[in-house]
Amino acid sequence: MGFIHVTVAALCYVVVVFVGFPLFSNAELDPSFYKNTCPNVSSIVREVVRNVSKKDPRMLASLIRLHFHDCFVLGCDASVLLNNTDTPPKIESEQQAFPNNNSLRGLDVVNQIKTAVENACPGIVSCADILTLAAEVSSVLAGGPDWKVPLGRRDGLTANRTLANQNLPAPFFTLTQLKSAFTAQGLNTTDLVALSGAHTIGRAHCSFINSRLFNFSNSGKPDPTLDTTYLQTLRNTCPNNGPATNLVNFDPTTPDTFDKNYYSNLQGKKGLLQSDQELFSTSDADTISIVNTFANNQDAFYESFKASMIKMGNIGVLTGKNGEIRKQCNFINKKSVELDLASVVPKESSEEGIVSSF
C-alpha cells in the first residue's frame, strides 16, 4: 500500500461510537478457564512465538498489533483472522481494510499456534484466546511485563471491514481524534497513553511519516514538533519521493526491547508518528503528565500497560454459547467443512511496517 492508499485512508478514517459491547471486566473470563481442558495452552503459545521470534524479532510487535486490530472491530472475537468468503454466509475480510491491507503480519503464526493447540486439545481453545495469549507472550519475550490473561472467549461468526476502516486510529490522528477512538471502545486517556507504549517495539513504513518530514499540513515545512537532529536521521532513511516501503524503528534507542524509552522519546520530540508525538506536544494536554510519569517510572508504565491490555481484551467478548470455537482460524466452522483447508491459507503480508496508529 503506497501513497494513494494513504490518501484514501485519510478520507475513510471516521471515528464512531460503537455501543452495545460489554466494555469492561467480564466475569465469565478466567485465567484458569482451560485448567482442566487444555492446561498447557499458554506453554504451547509461548513455544511457537518464541521459535518464530528468534528468526523474526519484529513478529512480537506484529502479534500485539494483531490483537489490538481485532479488539477494536466487533470486540476481541478473532474477526480479523477471517478470510473473504463469497458463498453464504458472505464475509468481507477485515484484512483488506485500509489499516490492515498488505500490512497485517502474524496470521501464519496464529495458524501455527492453532495447529499445535488443536493437536493437544482439539476443539477447546478459541482463536480469540490465542490472539490474546500471543500478545501477552510477545510482551514478555520482548522484555516487557507479563500478566494473567483472562480466558474463555469464543470466536465470532463474521467480520466487518467497514468498522475496521472506521474504528482503527490512523497515524495522522490528532489527540482529540485518538481520544474519541478510544472512548468509543470504553477506554480512557490513561489506556490511550499506556497502550501507545506498545510502539516501544516495531517498525513503520516511510509512507506514514513523509508528510511530517517534508510537508506537514501542506505547509511545505516539516512538523515543528520533530527534533531537528531526529528529523535529519529520518530523512536519511525516508528521502523525499524515495521508497515508501523503507522501514523505520518506532524507538530509535532500543527498537526490539519493550521498555519505557518510547515515552522518553516523546519528551525529546522523537515520536515517530504524528499520533505518537501528539501525546506530549499537544498544548496543555492531560496526556503530558502521564507521559512524564511513564518516562520516569517503568514500573508505573508496566502496571498501566497490563491493566489496559486486560481491559482492551474484554471488549465485546463472546462467551458461553455465543459464537463458536473455530476449527481453523481463517474460516467459520460452517465454511471449514466446505473447503479443502490444506490448500486455503490467509494472505500473509511480508510488510510489517505499514501501520495504523496502533
248: CB partners within 8 A, 6+ apart:
203, 204, 205, 206, 209, 234, 237, 238, 272, 353
State the number of CA atoms in the 13 A half-sphere of 281 facing the CB.
Answer: 21
247: enclosing H helix or E strand: strand 247-249
Active site residue 69: yes
pTM, entire model:
0.88
66 sits in the region (left: phi over 0; alpha: psi -120 to 50; else beta) called alpha
Render the burial of 8-26: b for 16+ CB within 10 Å, e for the rest. ebeeebebeebeebbbeeb
| Set 5, 67, 69, 205: catalytic member | 69
Q: What is the CA radius of gyration of the chain?
A: 19
Give the span between the Cα atoms of 258 and 262, in whole angstroms: 9
C-alpha cell at 141: 519475550
Number of other CB atoms surrounding residue 59 within 10 Å: 23
Q: Is the domain defined by 40-202+250-313 classed in CATH 1.10.520.10? A: yes
Model pLDDT, residue 284:
97
Which class for 96: exposed (0-12), middle (13-18), buried (19 or more C-beta within 10 A)? middle
70 sits in the region (left: phi over 0; alpha: psi -120 to 50; else beta) called alpha
Model pLDDT, residue 101:
85
Model pLDDT, residue 102:
78
Bridge partners of residue 223, in order along the sequence = none
Model pLDDT, residue 328:
97
Give the span between the Cα atoms of 331 and 168, in whole angstroms: 22
C-alpha cell at 151: 480466558
Which segments in the chain show pLDDT lower than 70?
1-27, 336-358
Q: Whose CA is closest to 191, among 49, 286, 55?
A: 286
- What separation in angstroms does the CA of 2 have from each of 8, 241, 242, 244, 354? 10, 12, 12, 6, 9
